[in-house]
Copies of this chain bind each other. A is one copy, B any other.
Amino acid sequence: MQDLVSKLVQKNSSKIVFCVLDGLGGLAVDGRTELEAAKTPNLDRISSNSSLGLHVPVERGITPGSGAAHLALFGYDPVRNEIGRGVLEALGLGIDLDSSDVAVRGNFATVRYEGDTPVVTDRRAGRLGTEENRRVISRISSAVSEISGVRVSFYPGLEHRFVVIFSFPDRLSESDAFVCDTDPQLEGVVPIRPSGESDNSRKTAEVARELIDKACEVIRDEPVANYMLFRGFSVRPDIPTFHEAYRLRAGCVACYPMYRGVSKLLGMEVIDVAGNSVSDEVQALSASFGDYDFFYLHVKKTDSYGEDGNFSAKTEVIEEFDSLLPDIMGLEPDVLAVTGDHSTPAAMESHSWHPVPLLISSKYCRSRGLGEFSESSCLYGDLGIIKATEIMPLLLAHAGRLRKFGA
């Protein structure tokens, strides 16, 4: 699908604004979903002239993580283009990754030594505090920064989590990172030694082994965080940028590092946002509206409150977005889309597989005059139930950016 679209894209002066309310879709509590309970006069008003539908993020029944769901929204097959856990963690910490980097998710752990053999007694080092984490990381960083010509960088995360980046001298391929996890997933056992699962990942595994030996020697005297376990060795996926795929100059308006990171992976430019509110985001969008063809605007808290099971707070975030919609419409984008990357029903306190409401506004909509934006109305919309990867082609089409296929 993306290949076909890439062949047909053409440039013009249109502007596309793609608003993603993270985890937007919900389930009814007392008869109404979060979106149905929210007072959204502006969304409802534009709904009557818009295309409505629902999208399936990955496949029916599949609950996506945020990375996979965003790739799909942006038109990339999320199954063929899986983002590794190490890379995703790195993006979440705001780390810029190069094509010669291997990213690894690390956990501090506690081990006891039987002679020189470590035995895991706590896989998460008692979920040690973030401050402690920073202190231990800094000890390691001062002692180890290079292994056999490979630069090694440590970045503390929350609690027991951290990220290690191995910076090799040369560009890497995906298989250079095929190294097994060292986390044995059990306590009372010896950590797994990193080993290469492909010919060209042997070097990566070797560096990892040496790193573990050296770094764990440094922290052997720590009372709790005296060992490290690695998971998700990965390189950034080799996928076309937004400009390569769609010839769009794309800007990202997002406050959370992970979403900025995914956007950067796709070659979007990250637009500065002054604060953390949706209002700050809309202001950033306005301020940069002349600079890009395509804007991705991300609202995080719909998802966070959904995960917390906080139905009413999720509803309020939707209302906050709705109140700012006139400011976005005031910019007169040629195409506006509003949707979520997946559903996060407060009733489930988690991401889910349920299809996500989708609105596309342009002057070329075959709208059904449904004056409401909700899970129910979208089911009767003109788009039906589509796959997330079908959204980008539709936005490009509405923007006049796709040439005719075939003579």
Set of chain B residues within 8 Å of A376, measured between Cβ atoms: 368
Q: How many Å from the CB of A363 to the closest CB on chain B?
A: 9
Set of chain B residues within 8 Å of A181, measured between Cβ atoms: none
Set of chain B residues within 8 Å of A390, measured between Cβ atoms: 59-61
Judging by beta carbons under 8 Å apart, are B407 and A61 in contact?
no
Chain A to chain B contacts (Cβ below 8 Å), 16 pairs: A4-B62, A4-B79, A8-B62, A28-B366, A59-B393, A60-B386, A61-B394, A61-B397, A63-B402, A63-B405, A64-B404, A65-B407, A68-B406, A69-B406, A353-B394, A353-B402
Set of chain B residues within 8 Å of A88, measured between Cβ atoms: 406-407
Give Cα A67 to B78, complex, Å. Answer: 32
* A385-B384, A406-B83 as given contacts; A27 in contact with B65, CB under 8 Å: no
Give Cα A353 to B386, complex, Å. Answer: 15
Set of chain B residues within 8 Å of A394, measured between Cβ atoms: 60-61, 353
> Counting CB contacts under 8 A, is A352 at the interface?
yes
Judging by beta carbons under 8 Å apart, are A27 and B407 in contact?
no
* A354-B366, A397-B353 as given contacts; A61 in contact with B402, CB under 8 Å: yes
> Counting CB contacts under 8 A, is A256 at the interface?
no
Q: How many Å from the CB of A120 to the closest CB on chain B?
A: 22
> Counting CB contacts under 8 A, is A396 at the interface?
yes
Give Cα A218 to B402, complex, Å. Answer: 40
Set of chain B residues within 8 Å of A379, measured between Cβ atoms: 368, 380, 382, 384
Set of chain B residues within 8 Å of A403, measured between Cβ atoms: 63
Set of chain B residues within 8 Å of A406, measured between Cβ atoms: 64-69, 78, 82-83, 88
List the number of copies, as a whole number.
2
Interface majority SS (helix, strand, loop, mixed), chain A? loop
Give Cα A351 to B403, complex, Å. Answer: 10
* A65-B404, A65-B405 as given contacts; A364 in contact with B386, CB under 8 Å: no
| Total count of chain A residues near the partner, CB < 8 A | 59
Contact with B along A77-101 (1 / 0, CB 8 A): 0110011010011000000000000
Q: How many Å from the CB of A35 to the closest CB on chain B?
A: 11
Report the nearest B residue to A54, measured CB to CB: B384
Interface residues of A in 220-268 (CB under 8 A from B): 232
Set of chain B residues within 8 Å of A5, measured between Cβ atoms: 61-62
> Counting CB contacts under 8 A, is A22 at the interface?
no
Q: How many Å from the CB of A105 to the closest CB on chain B?
A: 9
Report the nearest B residue to A3, measured CB to CB: B79
Judging by beta carbons under 8 Å apart, are A4 and B364 in contact?
no
Give Cα A379 to B51, complex, Å. Answer: 13
Q: How many Å from the CB of A366 to the closest CB on chain B?
A: 6
Contact with B along A348-391 (1 / 0, CB 8 A): 10011111000000001011100000011001101011100010
Set of chain B residues within 8 Å of A4, measured between Cβ atoms: 58-59, 62, 79
Set of chain B residues within 8 Å of A83, measured between Cβ atoms: 406-407
Report the nearest B residue to A350, measured CB to CB: B404
Interface residues of A in 121-137 (CB under 8 A from B): none
Judging by beta carbons under 8 Å apart, are B60 and A407 in contact?
no
Judging by beta carbons under 8 Å apart, are B61 and A405 in contact?
no
Q: How many Å from the CB of A352 to the closest CB on chain B?
A: 7
Give Cα A58 to B406, complex, Å. Answer: 11
Give Cα A278 to B157, complex, Å. Answer: 58
Given A61-B390, A63-B404, A67-B406, 19 additional A-B pairs, CB 8 A = A4-B58, A4-B79, A8-B62, A28-B366, A59-B393, A61-B392, A61-B397, A62-B397, A62-B402, A65-B406, A66-B406, A67-B407, A68-B405, A78-B406, A353-B397, A354-B366, A355-B382, A379-B382, A384-B385
